[in-house]
Amino acid sequence: MTWVIAQHKYYILRRNKEKGFSLIELLVVVIILGVLSALALPNLFGQVEKARTSEAKLFLGSLNRTQQAYYFENGSFALTMSEMGSNYTTNSEIYDYVILNPPPSPNQIHHQANPKPIYANELNTLESAVYRLPSGGFTTSLCIGFLITDDPNITAPGNCDNGEIVK
């Protein structure tokens, strides 16, 4: 009976000794996590930039629609944000928004989203334009600069210098 107890104790001690991970196993796991995070981080930063640029796209689209409504009511485009109403601010945490004055013609108005200085080396400038058509309707264009330093310039509906038209 004592031999069985001693054998059982030896089995328990040996089993407890084998629990846990070896240093090599832990290093392999850490290396795998490092490789996965190295692959994922650049993609994450790209998504953050896209989200920040989306804010400007949405706000410029809203400005375009508000300018169209303002034109219907007043027969001309608003030249300042305050003319469009108290709901519009000229800046956010990421971009400053301006109406480009003077407008190229009475039948069009241009807006620009300029990144704040803290984001100047990360985000592109965007420009939007609203055109009053001879038929009485409107068309809009939205352009984003090719490079961070480029100032997009919408020259005609669907035509952008120093940038590309955003769909």
Question: Which tens digit of pLDDT belongs to each residue from 72-96?
Answer: 999 999 998 888 876 666 778 999 9
> Domain locations in the chain?
31-165
Sequence-separated (6 or more) residues with CB below 8 Å from residue 80: 99
- When pLDDT is cut at 50, 70 and 90, the band that residue 67 belongs to is very high
Q: pLDDT value at position 162?
A: 85
Give mean pLDDT, residues 3-21.
59
CATH 3.30.700 fits 31-165, yes or no: yes
Q: pLDDT value at position 85?
A: 76
Give mean pLDDT, residues 48-55.
87
Tens of pLDDT, residues 97-116: 999 988 888 999 999 999 99
Using DSSP's 3-state secondary structure scheme, residue 119 falls into: helix
CA distance to 36, 97, 141, 166, per residue, from 87 (Å): 44, 13, 23, 25
Distance from C-alpha of 123 to C-alpha of 146, rounded to nearest angstrom: 11
Q: Give residue 140's Cα distance to chain centre.
A: 21
Give mean pLDDT, residues 144-152.
88
Closest CA to 130 of 87, 49, 68: 68
Give mean pLDDT, residues 26-33.
92
Whether residue 52 has pLDDT greater than 80: yes
